[in-house]
A = this chain, B = another copy of it.
Amino acid sequence: MARATGIAVWTRIAAQLREDIASGAIVPGGRLPPEAALASRFAVNRHTVRRALEDLARDRLIRIEHGRGSFVAEPVLDYQINLRPRFSEWVRRHNREPFGDKLSLRMIDPADLPECTIIREVLGLAAGEPVLELLRRGTADARPLSLSRHIFPARLEGLHAALLNHATITAALAQIGIADYLRLRSRITCRMPTPRECALLELERDAPVLHCENVNVTAANTPLELCFAIYPSHRVALIVEPTA
């Protein structure tokens, strides 16, 4: 790195690294070379490189992890939690191509699910009344964004077939005569992902996920769906804008 240009060396190193990231030479989520390697590449002291990296980290372009390295931050999609939960619309609003993988669909007795008590209570199910469980993976531009388990009362006429035939839940519900559905309540926690979830989300196993439990109802306010969804925290942030 040439000197005496009137601009600090670390500033120009930072600019070069910004360019490398913008050009895609280092992919989002990818790792930068270690500080020592960058120092020798730019022929400067390690401290000078560190000053440049601090600058990028301050702008959230990279995140520096003690003992591990520096990583290019992935673009985070802000997901606004509003009255109507619609995955595809949300992704398209961010100018990305949405896609919903249907992983599985089955009818099951909620007693065989760990969330048994909540499911029965929220959906108002009688003992032994079965539910439909849909597993779904949400993707934007080939990057997995969510894993969701949708629980519907199995008594809804024709829903099983409709869910099989349509790409989106909104479309399937429309077919059986439910033109609109609303978010009643969301409960947000976070946890570590299971190995299976890591594989499906293409996630490292030390990256926590946001966990949402959503209660959705019809426009007539009857319980319709309980949805458990997880989101990789490095790719998704939840936005809440209270209005009342």
Contact = CB atoms under 8 A, between A and B. Distances in A.
A114 to B, nearest CB: 5
B188 A240 contact: yes
Contact of A208 (B76, B83, B182, B190): B190
Contacts of A117: 58-60
A188 B238 contact: yes
A243 B81 CA distance: 11
A117 B57 CA distance: 11
B189 A116 contact: no
B206 A189 contact: no
Interface string A28-70: 0000000000000000000000000000011110000000000
Interface string A198-230: 000000001011100000000000000000000
A190 B206 contact: no
A208 to B, nearest CB: 3
Contacts of A114: 57-58
Interface string A174-189: 0000000011111111
Nearest to A54: B114
Contacts of A121: none
B238 A187 contact: yes
A53 B233 CA distance: 31
A117 B58 CA distance: 8
A114 B59 CA distance: 8
Contact of A189 (B237, B240, B242): B237
Given A190-B190, A192-B208, 7 more contacts: A58-B117, A82-B242, A83-B242, A83-B243, A184-B241, A188-B188, A244-B244
